[in-house]
A and B are shown apart, each in its own frame.
Chain A
């Protein structure tokens, strides 16, 4: 039985929302970065599903670029986490509010 594309959309929407909720409710910065990875993967699923259903390979090329950006984001994000940990021996998001009022 053929899988309709709306199933892929629902799946990617669910994963994106789980990632969004993770960013909003977790306080560990590492988990927040992992949740961002979840959201990027949700968009990747979307891209590949549409690329396959439309018979157009450009979607897969864009997933490739998204992967590149994700790798760069992880490298810089983890470097920032390490710098933060050196600065204040914590990676709890509640401890870093010096940019707030």
Chain B
């Protein structure tokens, strides 16, 4: 049963990821990515990471993708006719990397069974992550807030008219 669920999620994720790259219209690409985000969230639920599943839906599907769609609609793009002229090189590079990964997987013995039942089940997933986040990872957490602040200021400055214009 677990295998069937995993194969469903994995199949949809890989298919929609391929669609994101293959579709010509950016709006359709973004919508394919939306489906992929939901299925990644489903995969997280099967891995007992419920908090991250919710965050995935809220942040990725709710915030990031809406931002993408806004920009796509704002720019009113015409569709792109061809791939990059280096697409053969790109495909070749991807194939080589895939072959390397497959070789490594086949050579190594990828047996990492469940070590023990996750000990955090006494508490909920969210509580455990919160405790870890506010004790062990407190400093990275604060740095993350700084990153968000910098990104916010940067986005405002980059898009504001009259600051970045070339004086000519």
Residues of A within 8 A of B (CB): 1-7, 9-11, 13-15, 17-28, 30-31, 33-35, 37-38, 41, 44-45, 48-49, 51-55, 57-58, 60-61, 63-65, 67-76, 78-83, 85-86, 91-94
Whether A83 pairs with B159 at a CB distance below 8 angstroms is yes
Q: Is the interface of B mostly helix, strand, loop or mixed?
A: helix
> Which of B3, B55, B63, B67 has a CB less than 8 Å from the CB of A3?
B3
Give 9 CB contacts A-B under 8 Å: A14-B98, A18-B20, A34-B26, A48-B49, A52-B118, A57-B132, A69-B144, A78-B68, A83-B158
How many Å lie between the Cα of A52 and that of B91 in the bound state?
A: 33
Asked if residues B115 and A34 are in contact (CB atoms below 8 Å), the reply is no
A20 to chain B, nearest CB (A): 6
Pick from A25, A72, A86 the residue with the most CB of B within 10 Å: A25
A-B contact count (CB 8 A): 232
Cβ A75 vs Cβ B151 within 8 A: yes
Q: Knowing A41-B36, A55-B118 touch, does A27 contact B128 (C-beta < 8 A)?
A: no
Of residues 17 to 75 in B, which have CB atoms within 8 Å of A's CB atoms?
A: 17-18, 20-21, 26, 29-30, 33, 36-37, 40, 43-44, 47-49, 51-52, 55-56, 59-60, 63-64, 67-68, 71-72, 74-75
Distance to closest chain A CB from B16 (angstroms): 10
Q: How far is the CB of A43 from chain B (nearest CB, A)?
A: 11
B47, A52: Cβ atoms under 8 Å?
A: yes
Q: Are A67 and B55 in contact (CB under 8 A)?
A: yes
- Whether A18 contacts B21 by the Cβ 8 Å rule is yes
Q: Are B49 and A79 in contact (CB under 8 A)?
A: no
